[in-house]
Chain A
Amino acid sequence: MRTSNRERESNVALDIKLKVDASGLSCPLPIVRTAQAMKNVASGDLVEVIATDPGSVKDFEAWSKSTGNALVESGSVDGKFRFVLRHK
């Protein structure tokens, strides 16, 4: 309950347009799913990704650098990795 409240608050603060739950998925799916999701949002929109693959921390940095979609936030929430990306 507390988590969902916190999530809602951060959503309001960051105005996340789309959420991608890549929990449990292995490489390269968190990246592939995110790339697919990015096609459904407009330029400047924020996409939140939740992943459990430890490799995704470095991978999202590389993906952001390669594609030019900014990595706004990279951290962890409830033992999972959380990334916020801005569509270029």
Chain B
Amino acid sequence: MTVVATAPTHTPAPAPAPAEMTDGAVKPKKVVIVAYSGELEKTWATMILASTAAAMEMEMTVFVTFWGLQTFVKDKKRITGKNWMQKMMSFMQRPGVSHRKLSKMNFMGMGPWMMFQLAKKYNVSKPKDLLEMSQALGVTFVPCQMTMDMFGLTQDDLIEGMGEPVGAATALQLMTDADSTLFI
């Protein structure tokens, strides 16, 4: 009788214990940013949140699309694209994280210049530095395949360490699977 009684009490006991242990280890929160815009201030916001989320041990994925993808073209690339229209687009809007323009008060680069002077004065990291930190901390930057095709961008045009290009379905799957999603 006692043998039978101890058997069931013994079996459920170890079962919930490891479950609570894994719960105690805390499942990482998932955050997705859809980096749609290419302006300096919005790029800055994306980079600050991406690096901080990674520092907070969150699983951070940035889906990079439309103007946002211009930010992830190598700084030294001047003209990108295959046909004249794509080349013209990159000429009119210089790609690269260090060449972002402000949406307001750009004034031919005076605005961004002042922003960088202020950032330097108050020890605020530039988007480029924050991007490098984010990558070092394990943030995944995923480019949009459709945008790459439309702008004639190749994997070689983009900075090192980018994820495999994906489409809207993967982006939506990431978003619905995440605890929080931002569209910047």
Contact = CB atoms under 8 A, between A and B. Distances in A.
Interface of A: 24-29, 31-32, 34-36, 62-63, 66-68
B122 A32 contact: no
Interface in B40-59: 48, 51-52, 54-58
Interface centre among A26, A28, A35, A68 (most CB of B within 10 A): A28
Interface centre among B52, B55, B58 (most CB of A within 10 A): B55
B174 to A, nearest CB: 20
A65 B25 CA distance: 12
10 contacts: A26-B122, A26-B123, A26-B124, A28-B55, A32-B51, A34-B55, A35-B55, A35-B57, A63-B55, A67-B57
Given A27-B124, A62-B56, 18 more contacts: A26-B122, A26-B125, A28-B48, A28-B51, A28-B55, A28-B130, A29-B123, A29-B125, A31-B56, A32-B55, A32-B137, A34-B55, A35-B56, A36-B133, A66-B56, A66-B58, A68-B25, A68-B26
A36 B57 CA distance: 11
Chain A interface, >50% SS class: helix
B114 interface: no
B136 interface: yes
Nearest to A35: B55
Interface of B: 25-26, 29, 48, 51-52, 54-58, 122-125, 130, 133, 136-137
Nearest to B119: A26
Contacts of A63: 55-56
A68 B28 CA distance: 11
Contacts of B57: 35, 66-67
A35 B54 contact: yes
Nearest to B137: A35
Interface centre among B26, B48, B57, B122 (most CB of A within 10 A): B57
A27 B48 CA distance: 8
Interface centre among B26, B122, B123, B125 (most CB of A within 10 A): B123
B137 A36 contact: yes
A54 to B, nearest CB: 13
B55 A31 contact: yes
